[in-house]
Amino acid sequence: MRTGRHEPWSLLGQLSNELNRIYESVPDRADSSSVVTSDWIPAVDVRELEDRYLIIADVPGVLPEDIEINMDNGILSIAGTRQGDAQGSALLRRAERPQGHFHRRFSLPESVDAAAIGARCRHGVLEITIPKLAREKPRRIKVEG
C-alpha cells in the first residue's frame, strides 16, 4: 500500500497563481513592468534616493550571465532565464520553484543618466543602480547698468 500526503490546498494555490497571471495579462490592469510571455515574475523593489534610483530584484538560481539588461527610449528592460534541474522532471514529486524565462520593464524619468547605469548580482539578488543627472543649481545673475 502506497501512502502519501494529500494536500488539496496546493491545487488551489496553483489555480490562484494561474488566475493572477491571466488577470495581470488583461490590458489596463496589467503591471506594465511584466510581460505576459514570462514563465515567472521576480519580485522587485524600486527605491528613489537623493542621487539615484535603485532596482532590487530577487532572482535566485539565475546566473549573472543569464541576465540581460537593456535601456532604450526611457524603458529599462530586465530579462533572464532560470535553468531547470539537470536531472530532469522525471524524479520530481513537487515543483514550486518556477523555471524558464522572465522579463520586467520599467519606465524611467528623463532625469536619469542612462550612460551610467550599473548592475551587479550576488546571492540571487540583482541590484541595478540608475544615477540621476546632476541638477543645475540656481544662481544669481548680476545685472550691470
Helices (H), the chain: 8-24
Is 124 within 8 Å of 60 (Cβ atoms)?
Answer: yes
Residue 137 has φ and ψ, to the nearest 5°, of: -80, 145
pTM of whole model > 0.85?
Answer: no
Mean pLDDT, the chain, rounded, equals: 84
Closest-CA residue to 124 (of 56, 43, 58) = 58
Q: Using one digit for the tens of pLDDT, what is the confidence trace for 25-71?
A: 554 444 555 556 788 999 999 999 999 999 999 999 999 999 999 99
Provide the pairing of β-strand 44-48 with 52-58. Answer: antiparallel
- Bridge partners of 66, per DSSP, are none
Domains of the chain: 31-84+100-135 (2.60.40.790)
28: helix, strand or coil: coil
Judged on CB neighbours under 10 Å (0-12, 13-18, 19+), 65 is exposed
Confidence grade of residue 132 (pLDDT, cut at 50, 70, 90): very high
